[in-house]
């Protein structure tokens, strides 16, 4: 059975974009693959050093995983720092990463443009830690977005360099998991065309999976629209495209088609459109919110699942490290 690995940073809460862009696909993957899904708390340290925030966010994301339906009997769920073998592999892989190529990654260049010399080394070597996450389980597939494809290519590069130096085939070449073309993309509610984000400072742009009904209604009421179509069969503006994309994910096909027809005929009333969208989002989120909050209130049960997941992940990780040490000549004074 092929192995799949993916994770989300331990920041904030999950939102509709996270659900449609990742979690919904994970639910299908756990039925078909050997899956490892983790909470990336070490990655979160690149931007947040608040211990209480890290603790809260890691447990919150873990509760979201369980509340959305990831089943510890079908996949391995763990928190990144509970598998210390990842850090050892991260250290070794740094010996196969070049400073110049790390500085050229799109994500690092963007952060360097904003922060200059105040960047920490963890941001520079972020792709190396990501490679360690993947290669520790010798994953075959990694579901990544466009913004992470460069990092996945670097994972293959680091693994291949190791294999070449030590004349081994220890590390496979992980491939991006190919999602169907029907993948729903969820945009921020400000009409900017940017993806919905956990880190958006304006929380009105994001619909979180634990938002209350009133919060959802208020956010969608404030969502940016245009002046309305001026000619029949006009293409969607960016603002309206984002809202219709959201409706594609949460509403019935009949509802979607009715409002699309209204838009095409210049008959759409945005107040009615937003009200219907809010109702459908609430109906979609409500059962998920209930499950997530239920898990958040049961830390004893979450702790047990996290410990079992870490044990299982460490068993896989130790096999990789033992094989790595063998080819590197690091098993000293052993029979």
- Sheet holding 34-40: strands in order across? 76-79, 34-40, 3-9, 141-142, 175-176
198 catalytic, yes or no? Answer: yes
**Furthest-apart CA pair in the chain: how many Å?**
80
Question: How far is CA 183 from each of CA 3, 73, 145, 193, rounded to the nearest angstrom?
Answer: 22, 26, 11, 16
User: Which listed residue (111, 219, 274, 288) is catalytic?
Assistant: 111
Residue 111 annotated in active site:
yes
Which member of 59, 146, 167, 198 is catalytic? 198
Active-site residue list = 111, 195, 198
């Amino acid at each position: 059975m092929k192995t799949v690995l993916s994770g989300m940073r331990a920041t904030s809460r999950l939102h509709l974009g996270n659900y449609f862009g990742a979690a919904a696909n994970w639910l299908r993957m756990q039925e078909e693959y050997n899956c490892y899904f983790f909470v990336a708390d070490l990655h979160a340290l690149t931007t947040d050093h608040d211990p209480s925030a890290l603790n809260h966010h890691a447990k919150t994301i873990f509760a979201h995983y369980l509340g959305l339906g990831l089943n510890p009997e079908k996949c391995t769920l763990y928190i990144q720092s509970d598998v210390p073998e990842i850090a050892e592999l991260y250290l070794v892989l740094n010996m196969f990463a070049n400073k110049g190529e790390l500085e050229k990654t799109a994500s690092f260049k963007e952060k360097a443009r904003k922060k200059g010399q105040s960047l920490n080394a963890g941001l520079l070597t972020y792709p190396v830690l990501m490679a360690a996450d993947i290669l520790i389980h010798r994953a075959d597939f990694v579901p990544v977005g466009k913004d992470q494809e460069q990092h996945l290519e670097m994972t293959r590069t680091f693994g291949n360099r190791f294999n070449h130096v030590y004349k081994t085939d220890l590390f496979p070449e992980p491939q991006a998991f190919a999602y169907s073309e029907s993948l729903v993309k969820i945009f921020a509610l400000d009409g900017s065309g940017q993806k919905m984000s956990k880190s958006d400072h304006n929380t009105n742009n994001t619909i979180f999976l634990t938002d209350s009904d009133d919060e959802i209604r208020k956010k969608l009421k404030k969502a940016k629209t245009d002046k309305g179509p001026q000619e029949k069969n006009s293409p969607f503006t960016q603002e309206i495209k984002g809202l219709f994309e959201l409706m594609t994910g949460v509403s019935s096909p009949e509802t979607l088609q009715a409002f699309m027809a209204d838009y095409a005929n210049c008959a759409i009333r945005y107040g009615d459109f937003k009200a219907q969208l809010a109702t459908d989002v609430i109906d979609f989120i409500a059962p998920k919110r209930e499950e997530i909050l239920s898990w958040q209130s049961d830390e004893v049960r979450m702790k047990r699942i996290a410990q079992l997941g870490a044990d299982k992940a460490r068993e896989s990780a130790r096999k990789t490290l033992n094989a790595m040490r063998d080819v590197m000549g690091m098993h000293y004074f052993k029979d």
